[in-house]
Amino acid sequence: MDLHFFRRAGGLLLVFTLLSLLHGSRGEVPTRPISAVTILPPVKPDDGPQAFPNADKANLPVFTMDYPRIQIPFEITLWVLLASFAKIGFHVYHKITIWVPESCLLISIGLIVGGIMFSVHEEPPAVLSSNVFFLYMLPPIVLDSGYFMPTRPFFENIGTVLWFAVVGTLWNSIGIGMSLFAICQIEAFGVQDINLQENLLFATIISAVDPVAVLSVFEDVSVNEQLYIVVFGECLFNDAVTVVLYNMFNFVAEMPVVEPVDVFLGVARFFVVGLGGMGFGVLFGFVAAFTTRFTSRVREIEPLFIFMYSYLAYLVAELFAISSIMAIVTCALTMKYYVEENVSQRSCTTIRHVVKMLGSISETLIFFFLGVVTITTEHEWNWGYILFTLLFAFIWRGLGVLVLTQIINPFRTIPFNMKDQFGLAYGGLRGAISFALVFTLPDNIGRKQLFVTATIAIILFTVFLQGISIRPLIEYINVRRTNRNLDTINVEVHCRLMEHTIAGIEDLCGQWSHFYWKDNRVQLPAPAVCFIPLSLVCQCTYLHYINVLCYTFCLLTHLLQLTSENNNNAAISLLLNLKISSPNL
């Protein structure tokens, strides 16, 4: 056994030895140097001069500059500072701001900066992308408008505001889009490649009104409150409707064929997106109101909750692809009334100033960037398409105001006259929202450059021509004015007493109008009472029962008077009528 094992081991050893010898002969042999080259051993250099000195040694730099690393934030900061200095200069000399809107001046500064950059062949940084606009620049603008919305006039005219914002925007978008599509069928204009979907998308973009200059003029000349709040509310909710239509038509523009079922799905999505945004806004508004009830010992973080909950409502709405503008506007309107009763006066002042500052900065950057892009960007100019765009924008805006006003006037306590209708129609300026939407169009839109050029043309035309001429025209036609002087304490107390009294009478009679809803807007169901400051609940409940007791006392006095006069039939008839008209009694 051992002998057999050793024989096999010896055989294997012999085989491995032969294989190693065979493969070892294939090892690389170092190449012999060429005869003309002599390899010398390395020589250690001494301290004397060398024929080939060593490379320069890297020393610690005393001064360095890395501009590409901070280029974008540095230029944005310079733009904001330049626009701020321009605003200071505008308001130092009051005669400029009286006749020339601030947006015109900001665009003019942007045009000057753009001309300088174009002369030195410098391109503006690509900072205005779709995500930057929708996630960082649009929320402060909308929060500013929603938070400073006059609550009481808005809810008194909410039907008219939504009528012009929703139906009016649909009217302008569809009307302008169909008209431009008809123009595109004419071969002489050379725009036959623009289909109906792209025309509707472009019409939606230029339907976004931004009457900041008009509102400033209306406030200065003290136009009637109804006209002011309808223009304010239409501007705010028009942006929400425009963004919803923009996203919908942007998706439809990529579809090769649009079927009838897609139209019905688009209509359904329009309402789902709008109502969903309102739901998220109310939810986060109540959560913010509830949170601020427990911040009495940490006053320094009270403003943070307001900004975070508003922004969170916007982001959650964007997450579910619903109307984020509607969410943040509804959140601001919901929480404003309760939050200002919970937080301290300093926090309330901080919230107001920061909201106004953020909105102003975002809008300033967009107007400034508009002026720069107008000079530094290559444009596609088409006289026919751009001129007809301006014409159709004015025609459909004027017709829309005229038709919609005739429909809504019978339902209004104070109807709009022809002068008010002129103010509504002429106040449809285009501005920052339209420019940002068209600038962030996807690159797969074939005529994007033409849409950008046409949008800039209509913005410049409306902002400069209409914005400068709106004041003299409003003063010339003598639009109805309102007395904006502060009322005395006596007038304020009597006005509120009459409103609460009417609300109590309406509650007894079972006929609820806006007086009842204004008086009871804080009397929510039991699960929501925790969101409301206790002082407000006690105050409104006290006033409500005082009204009921006063009316009951007057009723009993009248009944006793009828009884004392032996007029029992009249007393019984009064009680029966009261029982029939007031089922709550």
CA angle at 452 for the pair 448 and 457, rounded to the nearest 5°? 150
Residue 390 confidence (pLDDT): 92
Calculate mean pLDDT across residues 458-475.
86
Residue 404 confidence (pLDDT): 92
The H or E element containing residue 89 is helix 67-92
Is 80 exceeded by the pLDDT of residue 92?
A: no
298 pLDDT tier (thresholds 50, 70, 90): confident
Is 80 exceeded by the pLDDT of residue 169?
A: yes
Q: How far is CA 131 from CA 68, 139, 389, 426, in A?
A: 22, 12, 28, 32
Write out pLDDT tens, residues 524-579: 333 333 334 434 444 444 445 455 555 555 566 666 666 666 666 665 665 555 54
CA 460, chain centre distance (Å) = 21
How many Å is the Cα radius of gyration of the chain?
A: 36
User: Mean pLDDT over all residues of the chain?
Assistant: 75
Calculate mean pLDDT across residues 386-409.
91
Q: CA torsion 471→473→478→479, rounded to 10°? A: -70
Write out pLDDT tens, residues 433-442: 888 888 888 8
The residue written with tokens 């056994």 in the block is 1
263 pLDDT tier (thresholds 50, 70, 90): confident
Calculate mean pLDDT across residues 147-153.
82
Write out pLDDT tens, residues 469-515: 888 888 888 888 776 555 566 777 777 777 777 777 777 676 666 55
pTM score, whole prediction: 0.69
Q: In a 10 Å sphere around its CB, with 0-12 CB exposed, 13-18 middle and 19+ buried, how is residue 442 labelled?
A: exposed
41 pLDDT tier (thresholds 50, 70, 90): low
284 pLDDT tier (thresholds 50, 70, 90): very high
Q: What are phi and psi of 343, to 5 degrees?
A: -85, 165
Least confident range of 117-126, 183-192, 364-373, 403-412: 117-126
Calculate mean pLDDT across residues 315-321.
88
Question: Which residues lie across from 223 on neighbouring strands?
Answer: 481
Domain spans in the chain, listed from the N-terminal domain onward: 129-362+383-449
Residue 326 confidence (pLDDT): 86
Question: Which residues lie across from 430 on neighbouring strands?
Answer: 209
